[in-house]
Homo-oligomer: A and B are copies of this chain.
Amino acid sequence: MPPVSPLAPKGGFPELPVIRGAAFATAQAGVRYKERTDVMLARLAPGTVMAGVFTRSATRSAAVLDCQAKIVHGSPEGAGIVVNSGNANAFTGGAGMRAVEAVAEAAASALGVPAERVFTSSTGVIGEPLPFERIVAKLDEMSGALSENGIAGAARAIMTTDTFPKGAGATIEIGGKVVNIAGIAKGSGMIQPDMATMLSYVFTDAEVDRTWLQDALRDLTELTFNSITVDSDTSTSDTLLLAATGASGVNVTGNGDFVKALEGVLLDLAQQIVRDGEGATKFVEVAVTGAASDEDARKVALSIANSPLVKTAIAGEDPNWGRIVMAVGKSGAAADRDLLSIRFGEILVAERGWVSPAYREADGADYMKGEELVISVDLGIGEGTSTVWTCDLTHRYIEINADYRS
């Protein structure tokens, strides 16, 4: 077992609110890992509304393709989610889709819902056939063990190289009634934005219009899961599913408080993925302002957050702002050296094309010793802004990835 990331939330897995209408179970199916759970099953009550955002990879997995086909159907029936870790069932040819269908049909039968309402995900090694029969064999047992309190166990069952399970929740009051949100996620490497995320499942007992929920989820994904990067690599399996059971009896369609609470849960989960970035020792916010457009700001933020030279400098606690200048320069965004300013936290490092007269290297070096860093870049050109979150690039990343499979 790898040690838990030093950036893991200090309190451990959070207390999540119970989502009425959602129940969870896990099993040890032995897909790949031994002596740990590797499958989760969720059952959603009749009336549940589903929304989802998925990877845009051209080589996305069979399960993603299947979810994308199913997510557009509204349906009053219940629904199910089955997720396995250890094998991504990606690039497995026609056998990949047959495996998805077999799992979905078996889960549908165990849960008493239509197969078109069963969403599956697989995460792990690419290119090896999924031993789906091991999952199928556990579905009846899991369906008999479903519990509204099972979400923490579900968060553990979907882990691969993760060093801690990831959960976040919120409870809000709308018109005197309580609405709950609870979500889990997994992800550590092969993380880059411009997609959904690795895997994340969020549940709420809110009642809501499906198309509104889908639009809200897509918008919030841009600000949360699509604004994180560990290593610039995009998974073939990335999936974010949101299930709204309606059991609270509170309709949240168009409700700003709900959107804000949901954004908080998604951002918390996304940042936990960065905090468990493979080999991460620093959690870094890159905040870009003053760009010609939000799109340009995003280009600059990602160019900094994905630069191996910036990330290794951070690992070395080196306040090497020259590499930030380099990353701004290569981003493709409009920039003017003489209008650029750079801050480490509150420390003004560079302005007007050169190091700030007041900057002392010792201050920068002290700042870089922190575990949570904020790098701010103002381009001084316009009003465009973007914030992304990333981690450093360390020896441990190389260790993990130079022999993950062998």
Chain A interface (Cβ within 8 Å of chain B)?
Answer: 55, 57-60, 88, 90-95, 125-127, 189-190, 192, 231-236, 306-309, 312-313, 315-318, 320-323, 325-331, 333-338, 340, 350, 352-355, 365, 393-395, 397-399, 401-406
- A339 CB, min distance to chain B CBs, angstroms: 11
Contact A337 to B58, CB < 8 A, known contacts A93-B353, A192-B330, A308-B308: yes
Partner of A326, one of B234, B323, B336, B340: B234
Contact A350 to B127, CB < 8 A, known contacts A57-B326, A91-B337, A402-B318: yes
Closest 10 CB pairs of A and B: A126-B322, A316-B402, A59-B329, A93-B354, A57-B329, A234-B330, A312-B401, A58-B335, A127-B322, A93-B353
Interface centre among A55, A59, A189, A397 (most CB of B within 10 A): A59
* Chain B residues whose C-beta falls within 8 Å of the C-beta of A353 in the assembled complex: 91-94
Chain B residue, CB-CB nearest to A399: B395
B326 touching A236, Cβ below 8 Å: yes
Contact A322 to B91, CB < 8 A, known contacts A312-B402, A335-B58: yes
Chain B residue, CB-CB nearest to A326: B236
Chain B residue, CB-CB nearest to A392: B402
Interface centre among A92, A340, A402 (most CB of B within 10 A): A402
- A255 CB, min distance to chain B CBs, angstroms: 35
Chain B residue, CB-CB nearest to A355: B127
Number of copies: 2
5 new A-B contacts, CB < 8 A, other than A127-B350, A233-B309, A233-B327, are A58-B336, A88-B322, A91-B350, A93-B352, A317-B406
A sample of 24 cross-chain residue pairs with beta-carbon separation below 8 angstroms, ordered by A number, consists of: A58-B336, A59-B335, A59-B340, A93-B352, A127-B355, A190-B309, A190-B326, A192-B330, A233-B326, A233-B327, A234-B329, A234-B330, A236-B326, A236-B329, A313-B401, A313-B402, A313-B404, A315-B398, A316-B401, A317-B406, A318-B406, A394-B398, A395-B399, A397-B398
B393 touching A337, Cβ below 8 Å: no
A331 touching B398, Cβ below 8 Å: no
Chain B residue, CB-CB nearest to A321: B127
B401 touching A309, Cβ below 8 Å: yes
* Chain B residues whose C-beta falls within 8 Å of the C-beta of A354 in the assembled complex: 91-93, 95, 127
A393 touching B403, Cβ below 8 Å: no
Partner of A398, one of B232, B312, B329: B312
B91 touching A325, Cβ below 8 Å: yes
Chain B residue, CB-CB nearest to A400: B312
- A281 CB, min distance to chain B CBs, angstroms: 11
The CA of A352 and the CA of B91, in the complex, are separated in Å by 9
The CA of A220 and the CA of B190, in the complex, are separated in Å by 34
* Chain B residues whose C-beta falls within 8 Å of the C-beta of A234 in the assembled complex: 326, 329-330
B189 touching A309, Cβ below 8 Å: yes
Chain B residue, CB-CB nearest to A234: B330
* Chain B residues whose C-beta falls within 8 Å of the C-beta of A236 in the assembled complex: 325-326, 329
- A314 CB, min distance to chain B CBs, angstroms: 9
A58 touching B92, Cβ below 8 Å: no
